[in-house]
Amino acid sequence: MPRLIDSTQPPLKFIPPSFNLLVLQIFGWLLPIILRYRTRPWLPAGIINIEAKNTKVLAELYQQFQAGKIRFLIAFRHPEVEDPLCMLYLLSHIVPKVARQQNISLQHPVHSYFMYDRGMTVWAGNWLGWLFSQIGGVPVRRGRRLDRQAIQTARELFANGQLPIAVAPEGGTNGHSGIVSPLEPGVAQMGFWCVEDLHKANRPETVLIVPIAIQYRYIDPPWSKLDWLLSKLEADSGLPVQSSSQSAIPSREEIYHQRLCRLAEYLIAEMEEFYRRFYHQDIPKTISSDTTSDLDLIARLHQLLDKALQVAEQYFGLQSKGNFIDRCRRLEEAGWNYIYREDLSDINALPPFKRGLADWIAQEADLRMLHMRLVESFVAVTTNYIEQQSTAERFAETTLLIFDMLSRIKDTTLPGRPNLGWKKAKITVGEPISVTERWISSQVDKQAARQAVTDLTKDLQVALEKLIAD
């Protein structure tokens, strides 16, 4: 049984950024060690190498920024939780080194403000909120239609801060180095707001958005550890363990693909019956077959994800509108409103009866949100991700998503992922996109403004997808 919130909580207050250069320097010194041993210091896993491409572009942008010629926002891919650490390493270690090599003069520090999910401090602890505030973080409530304080703070920093600002336009991790999730429009909107703010202040700076891709590779393909992990998942699920070394299939990739599909089909069938029986969802029964295609499995998975979200949406009184990511964001905010009660001035002053009701609602809201957490892990899963490239990385990414799902159900809402081996990160800096050039055409009317945001978001999506395809 997962560990749940058992009582109502005070409101999640905004954590204002309080940039501290000393804290940033200390964190920068420790960063290589943190990247290597972030999770379990005694295991040979972590990121031991970060290589960057087109870094000179970023160094030149910082030089122009520091000269007062431009303002820019870094829009970086967010496949894994290590991404912010890699971005910090890029700015604090690689960019200054490249600048020195290219005789590009930069002032210290080379850093950026950044936006982060306020929910990170819920599961990690208050210390993380303190650390992020000291190194320039701005917390945002992802599910809120308008988190005014976060937006105003970020908007002010973008236009007037001493540093650029970094945002992950996907809004959260998707666990796939090779897939860019649909981008949220906030980054594009921030770009147009910045141009507007500069225009009102009669300032000449050009506003740019810089796409940056991050991808991960294992130093040595972790096939043996994948075998171990699949065996563990099979055992935890109740399936007979099928060791890859004992398979009659000659191709290693085919062996792992078969085991992964077998495990996925079994878990989908079990979860279909779970929602069919206990939540009264209308899910057609499917007869298992050895010839079940990946396409059939994905269709069943997407139907299952839809039903899981409907169970939570029905409880919170929400409509099933938008894609899976949109629906997850709305559910998260609805659950937080039931748990972190802004309508209660002092929860400790409540009479026992009302406090008991408040705790009851918080417990149930957290449990209902678990349906949404399960869906979050699989929003980027497609039919051909592994077929396109049958690499150890893609097998590992998909298997770890299944591990997350099982962990949330049997152990905890914060799964501690197993480390499969040392990794390297590849960071690719794309060509900056000018927002200033698009601003005049966006000022015709409200429809033109909305269309400009949509077009810029699409262009940024294409740019990020091209960077991971190169």
* Res. 208: pLDDT tops 80: yes
Residue 2 covered by a domain:
no
Q: Tell me what the mean pLDDT of segment 198-216 comes to.
A: 97
Rounded Cα distance between 266 and 421, Å, is 28
Residue 51 covered by a domain:
yes
pLDDT on residue 56: 97
Element (H, E) at 369: helix 352-376
Tokens for 373? 């957490």
Q: Same domain, yes or no, for 192 and 307?
A: no
* Res. 108: pLDDT tops 80: yes
470 or 431, higher pLDDT: 431
Query: Mean pLDDT across the chain, nearest whole number?
Result: 91
pLDDT on residue 87: 97
Comparing 206-210, 342-346, 458-462, the range with the smallest average pLDDT is 342-346
Task: Indicate the pTM of the whole model.
Answer: 0.92
Task: Determine the residue type at 233.
Answer: L
Q: Same domain, yes or no, for 440 and 302?
A: no
Q: Tell me what the mean pLDDT of segment 444-460 comes to.
A: 93
Question: Among residues of the chain, what percentage have pLDDT more than 90?
Answer: 73
Q: Same domain, yes or no, for 281 and 205?
A: no
3-state SS track over 335-354: HHHHHECCCCCCHHHCCHHH
Q: Tell me what the mean pLDDT of segment 299-303 comes to.
A: 93
By the 8 A CB rule, do 158 and 165 touch? yes
pLDDT on residue 408: 86
Residue 456 covered by a domain:
yes
Picking from 396, 420, 444, the residue at the C-terminal end of a domain is: 420
Question: Terminus-to-terminus CA distance in the chain, angstroms?
Answer: 43
Rounded Cα distance between 329 and 146, Å, is 12
Q: Tell me what the mean pLDDT of segment 266-295 comes to.
A: 85
Residue 283 covered by a domain:
yes
pLDDT on residue 146: 74
pLDDT on residue 45: 64
Rounded Cα distance between 241 and 427, Å, is 38
Residue 13 covered by a domain:
no
Q: Same domain, yes or no, for 326 and 452?
A: no
pLDDT on residue 341: 93
Q: Tell me what the mean pLDDT of segment 379-388 comes to.
A: 80
pLDDT on residue 1: 46
Q: Is 219 helix (H, G, I), strand (E, B) or coil?
A: coil
Residue 12 covered by a domain:
no
pLDDT on residue 288: 62
Q: Tell me what the mean pLDDT of segment 245-261 comes to.
A: 78
Choose among 446, 316, 434, 308: nearest CA to 377: 308
76 or 412, higher pLDDT: 76
Q: Same domain, yes or no, for 195 and 71?
A: yes
Element (H, E) at 217: strand 206-218
Comparing 90-94, 238-242, 291-295, the range with the smallest average pLDDT is 291-295
Signed CA dihedral, 154, 194, 332, 375: sign only:
negative
| CATH code for the domain of 202 | 3.40.1130.10
3-state helix, strand and coil shares in percent for the chain, rounded to the nearest 5: 55, 10, 35
Tokens for 282? 């209308």
Q: Tell me what the mean pLDDT of segment 176-199 comes to.
A: 95
Which distant-in-sequence residues (6+ apart) come within 8 Å of 437 by Cβ?
Answer: none
Q: Tell me what the mean pLDDT of segment 101-122 comes to.
A: 95
Picking from 379, 404, 420, the residue at the C-terminal end of a domain is: 420
Residue 3 covered by a domain:
no
Q: Same domain, yes or no, for 256 and 388?
A: yes
At 143, the pLDDT band (50, 70, 90 cuts) reads: confident
pLDDT on residue 196: 96
Q: Same domain, yes or no, for 87 and 192?
A: yes
Q: Tell me what the mean pLDDT of segment 139-157 comes to.
A: 89
Sequence length of the chain is: 470
Q: Same domain, yes or no, for 362 and 380?
A: yes
Q: How many domains does the chain have?
A: 2
Residue 7 covered by a domain:
no
Distance of CA 49 to the CA centre of its chain: 22
Q: Same domain, yes or no, for 89 and 75?
A: yes
**Residues paired with residue 53 on neighbouring β-strands, in sequence order:** 428
Domain that holds residue 128: 21-219+423-469
Tokens for 356? 């008991």
Q: Same domain, yes or no, for 200 and 128?
A: yes
pLDDT digits (tens, 9 = 90+) for 41-50: 445 568 999 9
pLDDT on residue 179: 92
pLDDT on residue 42: 44
Q: Same domain, yes or no, for 111 and 175?
A: yes
Q: Same domain, yes or no, for 365 and 410?
A: yes
* Res. 3: pLDDT tops 90: no
